[in-house]
């Protein structure tokens, strides 16, 4: 850090088969920092992403040491990888780190800040699956996931939630090998009379599933995907994505057109991304980068004109209503390292033609929320004060 610049770094999987799931975090960070710098930076200092390192999926620990020991960055702003093996060193050195959590090793460490809160608690997402099934008048569900915890654990929670709310789970497979054929799974779904599918696979797997369903004459099935909310993909494969729903923790990109002037934070995001990183405007991983940079900058401003890493960490941990300028429901960082801020809220979108539409909304109140503890009701509660659009 100097009188005129604060250097930060990013670590992501920028190459290989998983790059599409993680690399776009870097453009999201860059765009937010470019916006901040265009308005004078923070306390007269430019915030510069000086190093964006590729962990190649398997080298996260090594490149983490390089970023801290050789490149001497003030903070990591944009951490996105399937295998966060550099975590122990970041905790040991007390390096402020902001990014995309795919594993539950961001909790409980006070210097690690995942975009929506550092704890991944699948129990808090349980109500959303039976809620959607009942809204769609589904009778027999199927749940499918890969044989890795990041995929299987979420869908295991979905199975339990559906069954506990009276939705028959006619077929489930939570141990699909990555890249494996899904033809046998689809045959079982057809035999079970499935009309609702929950998939915890990635986008290629989801497209393969839809293709297999069509080839086996299984039509009219409503699907919920946890990956694949991507406008360019929908425009490329509209026939495979109709009747598909997505759960989002951020304001959907299409909300700005569907509800003009109701979401100024989203309008700012779209305008900024279109200016600095137009290829990534409608990318969810880029959104993770935007959220990460927004939290870093908000903490940096609160840390004062002579920030240190400890001051920054302390400042972020006293933010109780982080929304990234109106992009997400409030996150309370006094508890968000170990507890999911209640109520847990999602926005739903449906693939319609070649675009997405916000659904289950009440006007510009786009959120469906459930308490994280103490209630099994599928009646949504009001979003917390300060939620965008509410």
User: Please, which residues have CB within 8 angstroms of residue 3's CB and are 6 or more apart in sequence?
Assistant: 44, 45
The pLDDT tens digits of the residues spanning 113-162 come to 999 999 999 989 999 999 999 999 999 999 999 999 889 999 999 999 99
Tokens 């995309």 locate to 100
Handedness of CA 101, 105, 108, 113 (dihedral sign): negative
The pLDDT of residue 223: 98
pTM over 0.85: yes
pLDDT at 2 over 90: no
If residue 358 lies in a helix (H) or strand (E), which one and from where to where?
strand 355-359
pLDDT at 375 over 80: no
Nearest-angstrom CA–CA distance, 91 and 113: 11
Which domains does the chain possess?
A: 5-116+263-316 (3.40.50.2300), 123-248+343-370 (3.40.50.2300)
Cα distances from 358 to residues 53, 243, 248, 346, in angstroms, run 36, 13, 10, 11
Nearest-angstrom CA–CA distance, 298 and 329: 16
The pLDDT of residue 286: 97
- Size (the chain), residues: 390
pLDDT at 165 over 90: yes
The pLDDT of residue 1: 77
The pLDDT of residue 84: 97
Nearest-angstrom CA–CA distance, 285 and 27: 9
Handedness of CA 280, 283, 289, 293 (dihedral sign): positive
- Say if CB 284 and CB 230 are below 8 A apart: yes
Q: Which residues are bridge partners to 222 per DSSP? A: 196
Handedness of CA 356, 362, 365, 368 (dihedral sign): negative
Burial of 214 (0-12, 13-18, 19+ CB in 10 A): middle
Burial of 117 (0-12, 13-18, 19+ CB in 10 A): buried
The pLDDT tens digits of the residues spanning 185-199 come to 999 999 999 999 999
The pLDDT of residue 91: 98
pLDDT at 390 over 90: no
The pLDDT tens digits of the residues spanning 331-364 come to 999 999 999 989 999 999 999 999 999 999 999 9
A 10 A CB-CB count for 38 gives: 12
Q: What percent of the chain has pLDDT over 70?
A: 100
Tokens 């799931």 locate to 21
Nearest-angstrom CA–CA distance, 257 and 241: 21
Q: What percent of the chain has pLDDT over 90?
A: 93
Mean pLDDT confidence for 243-259? 96
SS3 of 348, please? strand
The pLDDT of residue 44: 94
The pLDDT of residue 3: 82
Nearest-angstrom CA–CA distance, 359 and 366: 8
Burial of 239 (0-12, 13-18, 19+ CB in 10 A): exposed
Give CA 337 to chain center in angstroms.
16
Mean pLDDT confidence for 79-84? 95
pLDDT at 374 over 80: no
The pLDDT tens digits of the residues spanning 27-77 come to 999 999 999 999 999 999 999 999 999 999 899 999 999 999 999 999 999
Secondary structure, 3-state, 134-198: HHCCCCEEEEEEECCHHHHHHHHHHHHHHHHCCCEEEEEEEEECCCCCCHHHHHHHHHHCCCEEE
pLDDT at 220 over 80: yes
The pLDDT of residue 179: 87
The pLDDT tens digits of the residues spanning 256-309 come to 999 999 999 999 999 999 999 999 999 999 999 999 999 999 999 999 999 999
């Amino acid at each position: 850090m100097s009188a005129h610049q604060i250097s930060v770094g990013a670590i992501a999987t920028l190459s290989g088969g998983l790059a599409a799931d993680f690399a776009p975090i870097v453009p999201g960070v860059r765009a937010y920092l470019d916006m901040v710098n265009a308005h004078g930076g923070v306390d007269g200092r430019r915030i510069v992403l000086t190093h964006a390192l590729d962990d190649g999926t398997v080298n996260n620990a090594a490149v983490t040491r390089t970023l801290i020991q050789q490149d001497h960055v003030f903070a990591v702003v944009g951490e996105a990888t399937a295998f966060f093996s550099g975590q122990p060193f970041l905790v040991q050195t007390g390096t402020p780190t902001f990014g995309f959590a795919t594993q539950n090793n961001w909790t409980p460490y006070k210097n690690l800040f995942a975009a929506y809160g550092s704890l991944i608690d699948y129990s808090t997402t349980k109500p959303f699956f039976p809620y959607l099934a009942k809204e769609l008048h589904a009778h027999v569900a199927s749940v499918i996931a890969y044989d890795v915890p990041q995929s299987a654990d979420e869908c295991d929670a979905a199975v339990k939630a559906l069954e506990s709310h009276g939705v028959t789970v006619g077929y489930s497979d939570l141990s699909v090998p990555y890249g494996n054929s899904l033809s046998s799974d689809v045959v079982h779904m057809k035999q079970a009379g499935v009309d609702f599918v929950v998939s915890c696979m990635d986008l290629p797997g989801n497209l393969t599933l839809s293709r297999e369903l069509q080839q086996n004459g299984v039509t009219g099935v409503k699907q919920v995907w946890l990956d694949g909310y991507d406008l360019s993909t929908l425009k490329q494969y509209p026939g495979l994505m109709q009747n598909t729903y997505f759960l989002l923790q951020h304001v959907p990109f299409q909300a700005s057109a569907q509800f003009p002037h109701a979401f100024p934070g989203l309008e700012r995001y779209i305008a900024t991304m279109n200016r600095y990183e137009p290829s990534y405007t409608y990318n969810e991983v880029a959104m993770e980068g935007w959220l990460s940079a927004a939290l870093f900058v908000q903490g940096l401003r609160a840390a004062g004109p002579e920030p240190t890493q400890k001051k920054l960490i302390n400042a972020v941990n006293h933010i109780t209503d982080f929304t990234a300028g109106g992009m997400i429901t409030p996150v309370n960082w006094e508890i968000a390292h170990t507890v999911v801020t209640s109520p847990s809220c999602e926005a739903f979108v449906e693939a319609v033609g070649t675009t997405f539409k916000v659904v289950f909304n009440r006007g510009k109140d786009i959120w469906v929320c459930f308490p994280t503890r103490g209630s099994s009701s599928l009646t949504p509660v009001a979003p917390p004060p300060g939620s965008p659009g509410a």
